[in-house]
Amino acid sequence: MVCEINPVAETALERVSIQLPRTGADASNGRPAPRDEHPRLLVSDQQDLLAVVIDYGRYGRVYRADTGECIQELDCGDYYSSMTPFGAEFTTVHGATTLIHRTDWNRLDATVYDPDPRPLTARADPVESAASADTRFQDYFVGNIALNTDHTRVLTDGWIWTPVGAQRAFSLPAWLIDNPWESEDGASLWRRNDPTEDWDYPLCWIDADSYATMGRPSDIFREEDEPQPADTVSIVNISTGVEATFLGPEPLRIPGRRTLFHARGHLLSVEPDGLSIWRLSDGSLAHHLPGLNPELVLGGANRIVSPSGDTCIILPLPEL
């Protein structure tokens, strides 16, 4: 059952019943699944569509929000799909609800609903061949995706062999309007310079150009006698390539769950003993709310949403 939350009135209304996608369809090529499958709910900006994807699984579904009717089955393939979240996010294109979603281990596509599903990024699969030297083939396992604050960039968090974590970004308008290959080798494609030890770390966009992410540099470049680096939070500016370490937060790392948020010039970090709110201007601690572990921060509504058993707690953010 999907419920609609009114954060201002602090009420919830049962809205529609839906049938969840299938689970247990990927055996990771004979290897034990590294992380448990679990469903994740997405709601379109216009609240006309819902989607449920199975993080660390293969399948998803798109539904009409008013009736619960399933209008599209999603499938990201069975090649190591249990290693990453099912990358999917809603946006709006020319007034129509659009879903960006993974359709294979190394491929994203976009589907517009006007009102029925229609592909926006149809293209052939690139060929993996040394002879063809196809630069469109990416040996990159797409995981979580996130849209920047004005929905002009798509950030992807995934991995490459050996394996190490890797983050990439590209222009959303260029991909949807000019070049369906923009996500593979377009002019706007940006790659973070240094790989990380793992992937699916906490991250969130701060503005149109910068995002905050947690991570630890990969040890493939570390000398044997060098100490193991610690997890740190970095502010990464895609336009300039500059990265700055943010010393305050120590967010929990919970696979498939958001633990970093941005609201009104502050970075919110879900930590072992509660929620910390940090000033982006100087990195200082503005507030600490012990015992609070929200799964959603509604910056525009100035509310924190936190599940507690079978209930949902809605609290106002402190004055920022």
SS3 for 33-87 is CCCCCEEEEEECCCCCEEEEEEECCCEEEEEECCCCCEEEEEECCCCCHHHCCCC
**Extents of the domains making up the chain:** 1-83+103-109
DSSP helix, strand, coil percent of the chain (3-state; round to 5): 5, 45, 50
Are 194 and 218 within 8 A, CB to CB? yes
Residue 233's contacts (CB-CB under 8 Å, 6 or more residues apart) are 212, 213, 214, 245, 246, 247, 248, 249, 250, 251, 260, 267, 269
pLDDT in tens, 209-255: 999 999 887 766 556 666 666 788 999 999 999 999 998 899 998 88
Q: In one letter, which amino acid is 132? A: S
Q: Is the pLDDT of residue 204 over 70?
A: yes
Nearest CA among 100, 85, 200, 198 for reference residue 148: 100
- The gap from C-alpha 21 to its chain's centroid, in whole angstroms, comes to 19
Calculate ∠ Cα 117-123-127, nearest 5°. Answer: 140
Spatial distance between the Cα atoms of 155 and 201, rounded to a whole number of angstroms: 13
Instruction: Supply the pTM of this predicted model.
Output: 0.92
Tokens, residue 17:
């019943």
Q: Report the C-alpha gap between 22 and 86 in whole angstroms.
A: 13
| 218 closest CA partner among 276, 281, 160 | 160
- Model confidence over 30-89: pLDDT tens digits? 555 667 899 999 999 999 999 999 999 999 999 999 999 999 999 999 899 999 999 999
Answer for the pair 14, 5: CB distance below 8 angstroms, yes or no: no
Summarize pLDDT for 266-315 with one digit per residue, the tens: 999 999 999 999 999 999 999 999 988 898 888 777 888 887 777 778 88
pLDDT, tens digit (0-9, with 9 covering 90-100), for 21-33:
998 755 555 555 6
